[in-house]
Amino acid sequence: MKKSSFVLWKVGILILALVEASSATLSPTGINYEVVALVAIKNSLYDPHNVLESWDINSVDPCSWRMVTCSPDGYVSALGLPSQSLSGTLSPWIGNLTNLQSVLLQNNAISGSIPATVGKLEKLQTLDLSNNTLTGGIPDSLGNLRNLNYLRLNNNSLTGPCPESLSTVEGLTLVDLSFNNLSGSLPKISARTFKIIGNPLLCGPKTAGNCSASFPEPLSFPPDALEAQSGSVGKRHRVAIIAGASFGATFIILLLLVLIVWWRYRHNQQIFFDVNEQYDPEVCLGHLRRYTFKELRGATDHFNSKNILGRGGFGIVYKGILNDGTVVAVKRLKDYNTAGGEIQFQTEVEMISLAVHRNLLRLCGFCSTENERLLVYPYMSNGSVASRLREKTDVFGFGILLLELITGQKALDFGRQAKQKGVMLDWVKKLHQEGKLNLMVDKDLKGNFDRIELEEMVQVALLCTQFNPSYRPKMSEVLKMLEGDGLAEKWEASQKVETPRIRSCEHPPQRYSDFIEESSLVVEAMELSGPR
């Protein structure tokens, strides 16, 4: 074979391999079946905020769509649409996305039943359909999800029994079926956390604990035919049966009493966490203090309105003084008894207590009673972050961050070398005016960048760092500009704005650093943006 023919043969083989790889998700008619499935899901939902606007049936590749994540080999691996005000139903076409590993559709208003085709998603690890209005039964096909770790179906209107097939899924970590209308007997599910509270037909009002405990099997009494036996053997047998039944009944009553006492003890100790530090060594809540409600009520002068520091979506924050003189901030949650309020409380205690850093506000402790949920933080006397910002310094800081990402240098370090603040901005503006933006790009990129995108990013950064805060765009406008909407118009308008003059000078300064020397406003903006 001639050398040229051999080269052409190798090129042909390579092209064929690329075509086969790119058409892995295509049907024989050239249609991407994952695109078809996603569009079917979109069509069955009502999307009031148009978050699914980018889902186009004419698209070949869904990996660029919003709320869709793909694996490195180009298959749809995650579908994340939580808290998007979606309604409608969940299409059975979801079963065609066979490479899905995560489905997050919680906190919407999706109705109808759970499609049985979900059981075809053999790679699925997380399924969260909680806080919707789903009805019907839990499909038996969920037992086919051998890789499933987390299953949340709580806060819906599901009916019927909990499928026995779930007991065959061995890798479950969390199963939450609480606050539905399930009935029937419970299978033995091997999940570390199994929640079924709020199902009246499973958990009656007289049931102790959280209904997830395993209670002993009822004793099996002998058939009536045994009573027909005569003689001394029959009498002794009946005596043994009666004694055994009495002993068994006494044992069950004592066991129930022990469970009730144990549950009340745990309740009084305010242990409610899903994660137990005994089984997860990375979680340690030992530094948190459990306050009594009486102690916090006294510290805040009975939650006096004069001690209110602020109000939030989940509660009111009060200033308080403990018995030892420590000044604290006490957050009293409202609507704690709703699913969202209780989840918010547990999330703050479990997650914020783990975020220990010198620059983060640390959680001191909490209080949990039958009617109250409270969180205790250190008192910060200097007010809120918003009170320290001067209504667009965050936009300024974002502009500085963009320049640091482009140049690979820290703005403050850049200024220290010249012993003058604002030098980076002078340098960037000079290179931009001279058309030499390539000189500012991080050397680690080795020239591998898009020049048009570089120009756009520099323009966004310069718009965010304009001297006059009122000329800077809002962060919502910055987001639109980063998506390619309105940047050209904003940039053109900024070039028509006259550079402000300093009263003590006859001529306007030529360097941005001169503005900074004269303006404490921009100095604060630089420093509030913080070290990177």
Annotated binding site for ATP: 331
| DSSP SS3 for 405 | helix
User: Number of helices (H) and strands (E), helices first, in the chain?
Assistant: 14, 18
- From residue 98, alpha-carbon distances to 119, 228, 307 in Å are 10, 62, 56
Q: Are the C-beta atoms of 499 and 490 separated by less than 8 Å?
A: no
Which residue is listed with tokens 């005994």? 278
Q: Are the C-beta atoms of 332 and 303 separated by less than 8 Å?
A: yes
Cα 191 to Cα 154: distance, rounded to the nearest angstrom: 15
Name the nearest CA neighbour of 463 among 482, 450, 435. Answer: 482
Q: Per DSSP, what are the bridge partners of residue 329? A: 319, 377
Cα 75 to Cα 66: distance, rounded to the nearest angstrom: 15
CB atoms within 10 A of CB 438: 11
* Strands 289-290 and 365-368, sheet pairing: parallel
| DSSP SS3 for 102 | strand
> How far, rounded to the nearest angstrom, does the alpha carbon of residue 238 sit from its chain's CA centroid?
62
Q: Are the C-beta atoms of 399 and 460 separated by less than 8 Å?
A: yes
CB atoms within 10 A of CB 279: 8
Name the nearest CA neighbour of 105 among 72, 139, 152, 144. Answer: 152
Query: 126: Cβ–Cβ under 8 A, 6 or more apart, which residues?
Result: 101, 102, 103, 104, 148, 149, 150
- As given in the structure block, the two tokens for residue 250 are 């006494």
Region of 301 on the Ramachandran plot (φ > 0 left; ψ -120 to 50 alpha; else beta) = left
Q: Are the C-beta atoms of 75 and 33 separated by less than 8 Å?
A: no
Binding residues: 331
